[in-house]
Amino acid sequence: MPLIAPSTLAADFANLQRDVEMINRSAADYIHVDIMDGRFVPNISFGLPVCAAVKRHATKPLDVHLMIVEPDKYLEDFRKAGADIITVHFETCPNLHRTLQRIKELGALASVAINPHTPVAFLSEVLGEVSQVLIMSVNPGFGGQSFIENTYRKVRELVELRADADVNFDIEVDGGVNGQNASLLIDAGVDVLVAGSFVFKSADPLAIINGLKNNSSS
């Protein structure tokens, strides 16, 4: 059974507490919080105060995805704001091993993300340092994009790398996840599904989350 992380990027920002409380009641496992700086990605989303506000109302762990340049400057701040899992991008970390070590020193779970154009093999030297690897299945920056089909191959490659290295971490996919591709992703080896628009644009978000959790199309 997969872990489900609804993405607050697709929530109603004017009713964020309501939407966080809905996730609390749901079958979801995490609350996914996308942080965008307008530099690494062409959009600006939440910052530290909103992350802290989500944490105040959350009863589930915060899965915080830092789509920002120079993430090292903000690791401690996001940990203090409530991040339980901190994901940094391979593409923004010239000293990735040190960054991941710092996340763990702060008491959070360390996670690394790769963009659609980045081969999973580039992560081979740090797979023993992470609790999670996030494969972006859209180009990061905006919600509601179409799923990139090559993601299935990347997931299978990462499953093989994990087995070859004899290490344990969750494989997470973020972008364009819906009732049609969720089961295919799980079959490929995905452990954590991030879903934004599919959840929050639906008439019954609780039912959608439950359907994803139970691997049924909704």
Instruction: Name the residues annotated as catalytic.
Output: 34, 174
Q: Which positions ≥6 away from 192 have C-beta within 8 Å?
A: 2, 3, 4, 5, 29, 30, 63, 132, 170, 171, 172, 173
Write the CA distances from 155 to 5, 22, 93, 211, 214, integer angstroms.
18, 30, 22, 22, 20
CB atoms within 10 A of CB 34: 24
**CB of 206 within 8 A of CB of 26?**
yes
